[in-house]
Chain A
């Protein structure tokens, strides 16, 4: 790693791969930062992936 102590590292760790972790990861990765998205389950998606449709628009959740 090039960055020595004192100079910040342009990478971010996101803990949790639910909808909020995914959103934070996408926004940061799309604005110039390396992102490590760590999820304890075998897949990302969290609770929202389990929902059928969401209120109040009744859109599918995935």
Chain B
């Protein structure tokens, strides 16, 4: 978030509405209106003094109205922009000319004369990602939301759990402020419920409710947590493990029941939930202290107006209409792309993939204009400081009241100014605000500072912004040290102010001691090879290659088989009824005719070396030993190796002709070889998945089963189709097809893993005995055909993972850099990931990831050089005894032996080195030092701590 606020090429326009859009792809004219915030964004320093004095209180919408805000306020501490805004409806200035805030604002930032401002911009493409709204639980009236105090919705509960929320992370009942002892979660509120107009599944509620249960249990082990659910749809990467973890918690219950109503016990405001059990014959009740309604995603109310302005169509659910093969494109509106929850419910990593995917489509369209409206930032040449005595500037941040509310900033300033070599001291309300950064830059120039200490928050928060201030002043950015007096002091010691103040002084002294020893470090600039390597020629690989090629980059596409297509070639139609073969044929033709793409079929990666921007690979023939190996140089890698369908080892598969996989069934249907007179077909879900050996949910099998069940019914409506499932995971709009299948008479029977359907191995014909765990009864079937839904399993990932040095998850899929926020990156710079190499997924999800990975890769390939931090390790060759200890501890492969005039010595590749210091603490002769953390600096820091 903060990065977007700082990026020189992004202009953030908050408080702004889109009015009109005219023109066409490549050339749109957009008019917007900026509503006045009555605060000048350039002047406001975010100190919130105005809010402190504002007499008008109103509910804080950021806290879902559970806390109070003022009529002029910043609703959340990490707000971007970090400036106040006036709520016009509540503000007393507009009622009786109250001007208290004007008087207290030292920055003179408040401006009630601001008017609505129209703006016009010219853009080549538009990405639409207006998000979603949470379902209004008042519509599901039987649950008492809005009437009963101890019923809240899940987003409100999210704020309650938050340490920065209305009760500082304490879970308290609204009726009496007490900690509850029994909490119930109710699933599918505003999802999978045609009565409230939302037949679709929101896809996120099962897993977020599980998360909330786990968080409550972490904080309050004695609270009993119960969840009343339909299917548990934890279908994403890592979700099944998470679900299993929650099931094993003491005092956690998973109850497969739908609650019909919630009543209040008037004596104690407890909640009595009612449900039916025993096949709807008995009505049961249970009392809870608190209930959380797991509300689903609703399309934004503004979607209709936005669709009108943009000239696009919404589907019958109110989300933007897209199809399986072009999930980000909008039919009839080239140049306008839809992203994330605008197209349907999805979770955060899918939203991010979809956003990058839509971005890729825009980047393809505008590739000829890349760099025409952006300017590289220019800095003054860094001052030469060698030989100068240290001249240290110390800046102490108030961080609003975060620091100043606990420590006495004026005493910190007095302390700092008495320290040796400190020539400038200054306090700042918020040091990371843009005007404060400018003041730092100005002070460095005017006072000729050559070292800077910022006493503020963790370097993880804003170190880069402060380094930028140094660069702009012409000082090497590594001449900065951050004294973390917030996370490591005032936040943790807010209860003991005197001690906290003393500790803050000592932290500053230590920081100044280190700063004295800091030396300038030059970052390393390297050229970038602008070619891309895509490994895997299935849907993901082809789409990624095509997107990169269309963005103007040369691509090498490697496929180990003789034909392109991967798993996509096994499919014939999609759940939404689109034929796959013409799409695949067209895609292959596009790959072949694109001059930027060079395809290597029947090849695989044999060796791999280098680093981001400069990789070197060798390809070798898979089955043809005589095929000459190919040497390639490239700047990035996209891993798109896909997966394969598990061949089952149970239910007489391979022994009986009547037992087939979903893929084999689809092949039979497509080739018209399915017998027309089938009386009964049985489908078993989760064969070889969600078990001890293979714990994950393969995500797509439920949709595939629905697709084929509907197809069988379409071919012969008299064929009985019975689906044995554990949790029918038809998330998103797939729920529509689940309903359709039930309407057409497909029978769904739920089973638990300890009571799996069993096949009688003795009999000639197929005989299947089962136990229906919802109806509590046994049964037997004699289907003509048994179809097994087996999971997608990883394919060849182990070897590739070792070659590329990219880790795999426990399930054998490639691991992303961050499960939530960086789903398409890997931990290795320059290596990206998409498709089923990441996890099983449907066609539109694969396409989003593939396009997204291509744009992520383009953020590197579009640069002319790459900058690697100079704060890396360095080896004194004369001290190296060539023992290799450093090489074995380095996790990045950054050290190797090099030939020198004095024999083999360890050498560091500064681009691969992450500066974690493992090697220098391991080196037996002290030959290795970490440039930005030299021994002299650390020793001085420690000495200073003991002096105090």
List residues of chain A with CB under 8 Å of any chain B CB: 1, 3, 5-59, 61-62
| 6 sample A-B contacts, Cβ–Cβ < 8 Å, listed by A number | A11-B121, A21-B339, A29-B8, A31-B858, A47-B132, A47-B134
> Which chain A residues lie closer than 8 Å to B370 at the CB level?
10, 31-33
- The answer on a CB contact under 8 Å between A43 and B76 is yes
List residues of chain B with CB under 8 Å of any chain A CB: 1, 3-5, 7-18, 25-28, 30, 32, 37, 62, 64, 74-76, 78-81, 85, 121-132, 134, 155, 158-159, 161-163, 165, 207-208, 210-211, 214-215, 236, 238-239, 241-242, 302, 306, 339-342, 348, 351-352, 354-356, 358-360, 362-363, 365-366, 368-374, 551, 818-820, 852, 855-856, 858-859, 862
Residue on B with the closest CB to A43?
B79
B30 to chain A, nearest CB (A): 6
> Which secondary structure dominates where chain B touches chain A?
mixed
- The answer on a CB contact under 8 Å between A21 and B127 is yes
Which of B25, B74, B207, B340 has the most chain A CB atoms closer than 10 A to its own CB? B340
A42 to chain B, nearest CB (A): 4
Given contacts A27-B856, A28-B363, contact A12 B10 (CB under 8 A): no
User: Considering the chains assembled together, what is the distance between the CA atoms of A5 and B130 in angstroms?
Assistant: 28
- The answer on a CB contact under 8 Å between A44 and B819 is no
User: Considering the chains assembled together, what is the distance between the CA atoms of A12 and B372 in angstroms?
Assistant: 12
- The answer on a CB contact under 8 Å between A12 and B12 is no
- The answer on a CB contact under 8 Å between B859 and A27 is yes
> Which chain B residues lie closer than 8 Å to A57 at the CB level?
238, 818-820
User: Considering the chains assembled together, what is the distance between the CA atoms of A30 and B859 in angstroms?
Assistant: 5
Given contacts A10-B369, A31-B862, contact A44 B27 (CB under 8 A): no
Which of A22, A26, A53, A55 has the most chain B CB atoms closer than 10 A to its own CB? A55
Residue on A with the closest CB to B340?
A20
Given contacts A12-B127, A12-B362, A29-B7, contact A22 B356 (CB under 8 A): no
| Cβ 8 A contact of B128, one of A16, A23, A40, A52 | A16
Can you name 5 extra interface pairs (CB under 8 A) apart from A10-B372, A22-B1?
A: A25-B4, A38-B32, A41-B15, A47-B134, A50-B162
> Which chain A residues lie closer than 8 Å to B81 at the CB level?
43
> Which chain B residues lie closer than 8 Å to A15 at the CB level?
18, 126-130, 306
> Which chain A residues lie closer than 8 Å to B125 at the CB level?
12-13
| Cβ 8 A contact of A40, one of B17, B30, B242 | B17
- The answer on a CB contact under 8 Å between B859 and A56 is no
> Which chain A residues lie closer than 8 Å to B819 at the CB level?
56-57
B295 to chain A, nearest CB (A): 12
Given contacts A15-B306, A45-B79, contact A9 B366 (CB under 8 A): yes
> Which chain A residues lie closer than 8 Å to B858 at the CB level?
27, 31
Given contacts A44-B5, A55-B239, contact A33 B13 (CB under 8 A): no
> Which chain A residues lie closer than 8 Å to B131 at the CB level?
16, 18, 20-21, 46-47
- The answer on a CB contact under 8 Å between A52 and B215 is yes
User: Considering the chains assembled together, what is the distance between the CA atoms of A19 and B665 in angstroms?
Assistant: 40
Which of B8, B9, B32, B74 has the most chain A CB atoms closer than 10 A to its own CB? B9
- The answer on a CB contact under 8 Å between B14 and A23 is no
- The answer on a CB contact under 8 Å between B363 and A42 is no
Residue on B with the closest CB to A22?
B4
- The answer on a CB contact under 8 Å between A24 and B355 is yes
- The answer on a CB contact under 8 Å between B5 and A33 is no
- The answer on a CB contact under 8 Å between B12 and A37 is yes
A22 to chain B, nearest CB (A): 5
> Which chain B residues lie closer than 8 Å to A23 at the CB level?
351-352, 355-356, 359
A30 to chain B, nearest CB (A): 4
- The answer on a CB contact under 8 Å between A28 and B122 is no
> Which chain B residues lie closer than 8 Å to A25 at the CB level?
4, 7, 10
> Which chain A residues lie closer than 8 Å to B340 at the CB level?
18-20
User: Considering the chains assembled together, what is the distance between the CA atoms of A41 and B14 in angstroms?
Assistant: 6
- The answer on a CB contact under 8 Å between A37 and B10 is yes
Given contacts A12-B123, A35-B10, A37-B13, contact A24 B356 (CB under 8 A): yes
Residue on B with the closest CB to A11?
B123
Given contacts A21-B129, A31-B858, contact A9 B26 (CB under 8 A): yes
> Which chain A residues lie closer than 8 Å to B339 at the CB level?
20-21, 24
User: Considering the chains assembled together, what is the distance between the CA atoms of A23 and B37 in angstroms?
Assistant: 25
| Cβ 8 A contact of A56, one of B5, B26, B239, B302 | B239
> Which chain B residues lie closer than 8 Å to A54 at the CB level?
211, 348, 820
A2 to chain B, nearest CB (A): 8
Residue on B with the closest CB to A35?
B10
User: Considering the chains assembled together, what is the distance between the CA atoms of A15 and B25 in angstroms?
Assistant: 16
| Cβ 8 A contact of A33, one of B242, B341, B362 | B362
Residue on A with the closest CB to B306?
A15
User: Considering the chains assembled together, what is the distance between the CA atoms of A53 and B215 in angstroms?
Assistant: 9
Residue on A with the closest CB to B242?
A56
Given contacts A11-B121, A12-B125, contact A52 B4 (CB under 8 A): no
Given contacts A8-B27, A57-B820, contact A34 B128 (CB under 8 A): no
> Which chain B residues lie closer than 8 Å to A5 at the CB level?
27
> Which chain B residues lie closer than 8 Å to A29 at the CB level?
7-10, 374
User: Considering the chains assembled together, what is the distance between the CA atoms of A33 and B359 in angstroms?
Assistant: 10
- The answer on a CB contact under 8 Å between B32 and A50 is no
User: Considering the chains assembled together, what is the distance between the CA atoms of A20 and B11 in angstroms?
Assistant: 16
> Which chain B residues lie closer than 8 Å to A22 at the CB level?
1, 4
- The answer on a CB contact under 8 Å between A49 and B78 is yes
| Cβ 8 A contact of B124, one of A11, A19, A37, A43 | A11
- The answer on a CB contact under 8 Å between A20 and B355 is yes
Residue on B with the closest CB to A23?
B355
A45 to chain B, nearest CB (A): 6
> Which chain B residues lie closer than 8 Å to A14 at the CB level?
126-127, 129
| Cβ 8 A contact of A21, one of B210, B355, B818 | B355
> Which chain A residues lie closer than 8 Å to B215 at the CB level?
52-53, 58
Residue on B with the closest CB to A10?
B369
- The answer on a CB contact under 8 Å between A32 and B5 is no
> Which chain B residues lie closer than 8 Å to A49 at the CB level?
1, 62, 76, 78
B635 to chain A, nearest CB (A): 13
User: Considering the chains assembled together, what is the distance between the CA atoms of A18 and B374 in angstroms?
Assistant: 23
| Cβ 8 A contact of B14, one of A17, A28, A59 | A17
Residue on A with the closest CB to B85?
A42
- The answer on a CB contact under 8 Å between B373 and A10 is yes
- The answer on a CB contact under 8 Å between A44 and B4 is yes
User: Considering the chains assembled together, what is the distance between the CA atoms of A27 and B124 in angstroms?
Assistant: 16
| Cβ 8 A contact of A34, one of B163, B352, B374 | B374
B376 to chain A, nearest CB (A): 10
Which of B62, B75, B355 has the most chain A CB atoms closer than 10 A to its own CB? B355
User: Considering the chains assembled together, what is the distance between the CA atoms of A19 and B363 in angstroms?
Assistant: 19
User: Considering the chains assembled together, what is the distance between the CA atoms of A31 and B571 in angstroms?
Assistant: 35
User: Considering the chains assembled together, what is the distance between the CA atoms of A59 and B341 in angstroms?
Assistant: 21
Which of B18, B127, B341 has the most chain A CB atoms closer than 10 A to its own CB? B127
A-B interface, 5 closest residue pairs, ranked by CB to CB distance from nearest: A10-B369, A8-B26, A20-B340, A20-B355, A56-B242
User: Considering the chains assembled together, what is the distance between the CA atoms of A18 and B302 in angstroms?
Assistant: 15
- The answer on a CB contact under 8 Å between A62 and B78 is yes
- The answer on a CB contact under 8 Å between B211 and A16 is no
| Cβ 8 A contact of A44, one of B14, B342, B359 | B14
> Which chain B residues lie closer than 8 Å to A37 at the CB level?
4, 10-13
User: Considering the chains assembled together, what is the distance between the CA atoms of A62 and B9 in angstroms?
Assistant: 21
A47 to chain B, nearest CB (A): 6
| Cβ 8 A contact of B1, one of A3, A34, A35, A62 | A62
- The answer on a CB contact under 8 Å between A9 and B122 is yes
Residue on A with the closest CB to B130?
A16
